[in-house]
Copies of this chain bind each other. A is one copy, B any other.
Amino acid sequence: MSRYAVGIDLGGTYIKSGVVDPEGCVVARGQVETAADQGKDEVVRRIVQSIQQAPELAGIDPGDVVGVGIGSPGPLDTKKGVIHFAPNLPGWTNLPLAELVEGDLRSALPLASPTAQPPQGGGRGDCGIPIFLENDANAAAYAESWVGAGKGSRAMILLTLGTGIGGGIVLDGEIWHGVADIAGEIGHVVINFDGPVCGCGRQGCLEAYASAPALVRRTEEGLEAGRSSVLRERLANADDEDKARLINDAAEEGDELAREMVQATARYLGIGIINYLNIFNPDTVVLSGGLAKAGPVFWDTLHRTVGTAPFEISREACRVVPAQLGDDTGVIGAAGCAWKRSEIST
């Protein structure tokens, strides 16, 4: 009998859903708007609906769904299924999401065996399928280590390069959660305590140097200082979220300011990655997010920088590679956590 896990990727804008088989293949996908502004009850309703519709989308029997994983932003308690708070979901404070979703599902959905006991860590409902909550960055890390760029790795660090720098740590096939489910704040390691102030309040975090906004800020400072660049016009007319990509494109075209800025970003990131090499001695570092899609100007500089890592054994044991899973990452990771934690994975 084929069995499946449902993965829910809860974002500030969209709720993505997917039905995922034991090999990590997504056999069906769905997406609805999160509608966070309509309050948390509506968001929960949409999550429940996404779960309910998933089997039909995939053309499978609802009874073949072994568990649901929800990847959510914010610090959260994976064991209790509670979101402490979520920056992009206003009013979500100490929200028992797993219990709420399970409660709604229980009354409505003919999933799984009514006698099945949910395993520890799942929701506590007595006749539903288990709902597992996972931090979205950890879920992404798990996805890449399971079936993506880190497949087969023994120790993998994921860095997600976007507005912030997040990520996750997967050691011997397990997400490292820490003692209070808040490990893996990969972007909030200080690489220069005299550096620019970070969103977290400290100075000189990796995020304050190597996130997309940091790249844009330095480039705009260069323009303000009178540097000549094709970016002067392009950035003036661009949306904020496009600017980092435009800078990378200009760097690949040979624009000197853009090259300098992209290379600086890659060097900062390399310093942070070497720190992780020295701490973890991983075999794989995976980069995802916009910057990871940059071209050779970025990647060559990054590899050159990581090549200066002081411990040869550690340096040679590790590859630094782009993520592979793209838009499916969140859904695969959430489902993968459900597979893993329901202990029925292949």
The smallest C-beta distance from A171 to any residue of chain B, in angstroms, reads 7
Whether, in the assembled complex, A336 has its beta carbon less than 8 Å from a beta carbon of chain B, the answer is: no
> Quick check: is A280 within 8 A (CB to CB) of the other chain?
yes
Count A interface residues, CB 8 Å: 46
A283 CB → nearest B CB, Å: 4
Chain B residues with CB under 8 Å of A313's CB are: 75, 84, 180-182
Least Cβ–Cβ distance between A266 and chain B, in angstroms:
13
Q: Which of B179, B311, B317 contacts A281 (CB 8 A)?
A: B179
Taking CB atoms, residues of chain B closer than 8 Å to A84 are 313
CB closest chain-B residue, reference A272: B190
Q: Which residue of chain B has its CB nearest to the CB of A209?
A: B193
Closest to A267 in B: B193
Q: Which of A28-36, A194-202, A236-244 contacts B (4 or more CB under 8 A)?
A: A194-202
Q: Which of B183, B190, B268, B282 contacts A275 (CB 8 A)?
A: B190
CA distance A178 to B154 in the complex (A): 8
- Establish whether residues B282 and A178, one from each chain, have CB atoms under 8 Å apart when the complex forms: yes
- Central interface residue in A169, A194, A279, A282, by most chain B CB within 10 Å: A279
Q: Chain A 141-181 against B: per-residue CB contact (8 Å), 1 yes, 0 no?
A: 00000000000001100000000000001010000111111
Contacting residues of chain A (267-307) with chain B, CB-CB under 8 angstroms: 268, 271, 274-275, 278-283
On chain B, the residues within 8 Å of A280 by CB distance are 176, 178, 183
Q: How far is the CA of A316 from the CA of B182 in the complex (A)?
A: 11
CA distance A189 to B193 in the complex (A): 12
Contacts of A181 on B, CB cut-off 8 Å? 281, 313
Q: Are B279 and A201 in contact (CB under 8 A)?
A: no
Indicate whether A281 sits within 8 Å of B193 (C-beta atoms), given known contacts A310-B202, A313-B75. Answer: no
Residues of chain B within 8 A of A184, CB atoms compared? 279, 281
Let me know if A188 is at the binding interface, CB within 8 A. yes
Contact status of A171 and B180, CB under 8 A, knowing A84-B313, A191-B193, A202-B274: no
Give the shortest distance, in Å, between A227 (CB) and chain B (any CB). 22
A interface residues with partner B (beta carbon < 8 Å): 75, 84, 154-155, 169, 171, 176-186, 188-194, 200-202, 204, 268, 271, 274-275, 278-283, 308, 310-311, 313-314, 316-318
25 A-B pairs in the complex with CB atoms less than 8 angstroms apart: A155-B183, A171-B176, A176-B280, A178-B281, A179-B317, A179-B318, A180-B314, A180-B316, A181-B313, A182-B311, A182-B313, A182-B317, A184-B281, A188-B310, A188-B311, A189-B275, A189-B278, A189-B279, A190-B274, A190-B275, A192-B192, A193-B268, A193-B271, A194-B194, A200-B310
